Each structure stands twice: as C-alpha cells, then as structure tokens.
Amino acid sequence: MFQYQIDPTSQVPVYRQLVDQIHAQILSGALKTGVQLPTVREMAEKLRLSCGTVKRIYDCLQEMGDIEMTRRRGTFVKFVRTDRNSRKYQAMNAIDQMIRKLTELRFSPAEIQIFLNLKMREWGMKWTGIRIAVLTDYLELTKTIERQMEAIPNIQVHVWPLRQVQEYPYSVDEESDLILCPTGIARNTAHFLPDKDKCVYVAFAPSMETVQHLAACAGKNIGILCEGEAFFELIKACLPVSGRVNAKWIPSGASACFDEFDAIVCAPDLVEQCDKEIREALAAFRAKEALHVFDFRMDEGSMLYLQERIEKLRDEKQQWPTAMRI
C-alpha cells in the first residue's frame, strides 16, 4: 500500500513526487478515509528519506485536506470522495495545481497569498461591471433611474448631483466608465468634463401615464410636492399649456395646508418619506384619484443607445455581462 517510486532524474522535487502519488491513491480510493498512515519516522525509513522531507510531504497533504495529523493519535486519511464532475471539485483541483506550480517555482506561502490578492483585485474590477455615473439636477429621480437601469446586467450606477460634478469633475471621471448626461444639461457639462468620450447624452421624458395625469390637471390648483425647486420647475414645465393651471411648490420637509389644492403631483418615492400628517393628507387625495406620481424616465431610444455603448465597452474590456461561473 505504501510503495512509491522516486525518480532522482526528474526536475520535480522528491517531496512533490511523493505528495502527488499519495494524493492520487487517496483520490482513487486506494487509501480510504480513516486509514492510518505510518509515522514520519516509519515512512522515512521505508522510503529512505530524511524525516524532514517526510514531514514536508505530510504538511502538504494536510494543507490539501487529504490527511489529518494529530500528536497522540497519529496520521489518518481525511479526504472524503466527491463527484469529480462537480464544480467545487474542479475548482479545488485547479487551485491545487496552481499552488503546486507556484511552490515548484520556490515561492513562499506569503508570496503566493500576495499574488492571489493582486489577481483577485484585478478580476474584481471585471466582476463589478461597467461603472455608470448619471449627472442630474434632480436627485428625486435617483431611485427611478436606478430601477430603470436594473434591466442592464452587470453595471454599477451612481447618481451625481450636477453641482458637485462641476466643482470636482475629475472625481466622476476617475470613478466612471461612462457618464450619462441628460440632454437638458448637455451644454452645462461639455466644458468641464475631462474625458468627453465617456459621455453618453440621453433624453428623459414623462411616462405616458404621467402625461395623461398632468393633462387632467388643466384648470385646477395643483400642489407639487418635491424636495428641490429645480424639480418643481421641471414638473411645472410639463403641465398642460392649454387651460389655466395654478401650480404651487410644496417642499417635502415643510408643513402645508392641502385644502387649497384640487390635485397633488409628487416626486417618485417621496410619499413614504413624508411625516405622518402629510401621508394622511396625501391618502385622501389618493382616495379620490387626485394624487399623481411624476414618472420621469429615459426614453426607449436612449436606453437602446446606452446598451449599445455598454456592450461595446464590455468588448473592449473583455468583461462578462453576467456573474462569472467556475
């Protein structure tokens, strides 16, 4: 059972030849789980090797999970057979081969760990996908944009306030692969972004349902509930031209009387963030179908164009559009 062949002319170190042979016996079942191996001294005498060499063999096998060494009980086969076609088995086998090769190149465990960490960081950049920055004046649309972008696999989306980017343009440039610029702010971004090739100009517009709701507001007193005045002006600009519409801004954090309004238009995802008093007032408007959420999103043509740019960038970076599989 413990007969092994050593080739003194081989470039493979003696200890590695024996590690491979014992490992092969364990994998094949010739050495079954629970079998006790000779002590270091006994194995050294059988193979006519030094105790130090045999100790190194056993240490390697223990690191590989093949055996277990205990001070009082001895050394036993620990390996449990698994399906050789399983992804886990194939992965562990590939790692064993890699570590074996690096060991033969005389790298220490600490050096191997450094190499692994470096490569994992390098591959991690590929796994995280394409980094997309969205510049906007309307932070109220952050979740809406993120939800719409979920349709594109393996991307990271970060919404940047336009004012912040104007002050520190190199931050968004360094942290992004593509920079999404709504056409409405294209002129404001063209002169300060360092890398114009990263820019993707896209159009945003209200959804058809939102257009219909706003059209029904003609001739009414409208309260527009949102955080910033810029978003108020955006919604106001989308109200119907025909028919007199009185629109008033209701800051989301302020107390307000809703009795003067016939209908309320609010920014997306804002109702849940309001205090109890405002939520109760909005519930009354919802009950009479007079509460309208302003759904403002990227149009279909822009979305298709963005996906084409992302696929092109993936080809250049040789990145995968979905999670890596072993």
pLDDT, tens digit (0-9, with 9 covering 90-100), for 131-160: 899 888 888 888 888 888 888 888 888 888
pLDDT score of 281 more than 50? yes
Burial letters for 28-43: b for 16+ Cβ neighbours within 10 Å, e otherwise? Answer: eeebeeeeebbebeeb
Mean pLDDT of 27-56: 89
Burial letters for 202-240: b for 16+ Cβ neighbours within 10 Å, e otherwise? Answer: bebebeeebeebbeebeebebbbbbbbeebbbbbbebbe
Q: What angle in degrees, to the nearest 10, is found between the helix axes of 51-63 and 14-28?
A: 50
Strands 74-77, 67-70: pairing is antiparallel
Q: What is the pLDDT of residue 122?
A: 67
Measured between alpha carbons, how far is residue 217 from residues 197, 205, 247, 307 in Å? Answer: 42, 18, 10, 35
pLDDT, tens digit (0-9, with 9 covering 90-100), for 203-220: 888 989 999 999 888 889
pLDDT, tens digit (0-9, with 9 covering 90-100), for 284-318: 999 999 999 999 888 889 999 999 988 888 777 65
Q: How far apart are CA 76 and CA 30, in angstroms?
A: 14
Q: What is the pLDDT of residue 322?
A: 45
Domain ranges of the chain: 14-106, 130-204+300-317, 208-294
pLDDT, tens digit (0-9, with 9 covering 90-100), for 51-82: 999 999 999 898 888 888 887 788 998 866 55
The pTM of the full predicted model, rounded to 2 decimals, is: 0.54
Q: What is the pLDDT of residue 287?
A: 92
- Topology (CATH level 3) of domain 14-106: Arc Repressor Mutant, subunit A (1.10.10)
- Which has the higher per-residue pLDDT, 253 or 174? 174
- Topology (CATH level 3) of domain 208-294: Rossmann fold (3.40.50)
Phi, psi of 315, rounded to the nearest 5 degrees: -60, -40
